[in-house]
Amino acid sequence: MSPRPVLVVGATGRVGGAVLASLRSREVPVRALVRDPRALTACEAGLEVGRLDLRDPSTFADAVAGAGRLFLVRPPAIARVGPTVNAFVDAAVGAGIDHVVLASVAGADDNRLVPHHRIETHLRAAGVAHTLLRPGFFAQNLTGPYRQDIRHDDRLYVPAGQGRVAFVDVRDLGEVAAQVLEDPTGHVGAAYELTGPEAVTFDEVAALLSDALGRPVRYEPATVVGYARHLRQGGLPLTQTLVQTVLHVGLRRGDAAAVDPTLGRLLGRRPRTVADVIADHTHLWRPED
Ligand SMILES: NC(=O)c1ccc[n+]([C@@H]2O[C@H](COP(=O)([O-])OP(=O)(O)OC[C@H]3O[C@@H](n4cnc5c(N)ncnc54)[C@H](OP(=O)(O)O)[C@@H]3O)[C@@H](O)[C@H]2O)c1
């Protein structure tokens, strides 16, 4: 009998994609769960792909059938987690999943406003073994949300003032998640705050980008209103615009400045720095690409 696969929610996304890559490099059997399976089957030879829409409970039973463990992430567009993410947890537990790794967010235990808090609470109530990963601010915001500003306008435009940020590399999160999913021994019930190894300002990030790209990239501190307008002009829905603006203003106060040694301890090496992330992705910010 073949081993039961690990389910990976959000497998086309940044965190889920990193978890998928790490599990595959460890040769752990995986079922990638996506809304549109064609998004993965075309480029991932030999990968088991299942359909999951967290807003459509009729997709849950097939998605979880026969699976062993679950990697879970809350898609940014989903704010109401009760009928979506938490209902999916119930389906997975009902199907016999024996361990869940949740990509949560730093501070989710104390912050009732973030949806992750309600998922964490639900996991505890569901009685399933689980591990909570609570990452800080993603370095991959540079390759995702900030990419076009850097690429076309040579600027970082966020309302973060001179706040320091302990950027964490999503690939490191993927490695830790895969490690726990492969063997949860010693991680059951644990909650890990995960940050990068150093805290830098956006001026320092701009200097690193300038060096790596060979052209000047500047940090332009945005006002709250200016940033919200910028996100809306980029097509972000209103709710996510408000969430992103509040999160970035929190950076001014140092909300993401604390460096936590846990990630390095779990990886057994120094976590990647924001300079590493920049060096590995320079092609994404070339205007011509
Ligand atoms: N950005 C940060 O600095 C930061 C820091 C800490 C924590 N977080 C948390 O990390 C999470 C974001 O992770 P991410 O960056 O990997 O997000 P992402 O890149 O936007 O990926 C989201 C994934 O969810 C999938 N998805 C969207 N709607 C879905 C639905 N209805 N049913 C099933 N799948 C759906 C998407 O798949 P398709 O669209 O392809 O279907 C995609 O694979 C959020 O919970 C956020 O709060 C973010």
Residue nearest (by alpha carbon) to ligand 1 atom 41:
35
- φ, ψ of residue 143 in degrees (nearest 5): -90, -15
Q: Domain check: are 145 and 244 in the same one?
A: yes
Boundaries of domain holding 35 = 6-135
Please tell me the distance from the alpha carbon of residue 202 to that of residue 7, in angstroms, as a whole number: 36
Query: Going by C-beta distance under 8 Å and a sequence separation of 6 or more, which residues neighbour residue 186?
Result: none
Q: Is there an atom of ligand 1 within 6 Å of 137 CB?
A: yes
Residue 100: closest CA among 7, 233, 221, 218: 7
Q: What is the pLDDT of residues 27-53, one digit of tens each?
A: 999 999 999 988 886 566 779 999 999
1 in a domain, yes or no? no
Q: Which two tokens stand for residue 153?
A: 């306008």
Q: What is the pLDDT of residues 104-143, one digit of tens each?
A: 999 999 988 899 999 999 999 999 999 999 999 999 999 9
Residue 135 Cβ inside 6 Å of ligand 1? The answer reads yes
Task: Tell me, yes or no, whether 16 lies in a domain.
Answer: yes
The H-or-E segment that residue 219 falls in is: strand 218-221
CATH of the domain at 81: 3.40.50.720
Measured distance CA(4)–CA(69) in Å, rounded: 8
The answer to whether residue 289 scores a pLDDT higher than 80 is no
- The residues, any chain, with a CB within 8 Å of residue 83's CB and separated by 6 or more, are 57
> Is residue 161 located within the same domain as residue 233?
yes
Residues 40 and 104 both lie in one domain? yes
Calculate mean pLDDT across residues 260-270.
98
Q: pLDDT of 214-237, one tens digit each? A: 999 999 999 999 999 999 999 999
User: How many angstroms does the Cα of residue 15 sit away from the middle of ligand 1?
Assistant: 7
Q: Which atom of ligand 1 is nearest to the CA of 106?
A: 6
Task: CATH number of the domain at 206, please.
Answer: 3.90.25.10
Task: Record the pTM.
Answer: 0.96
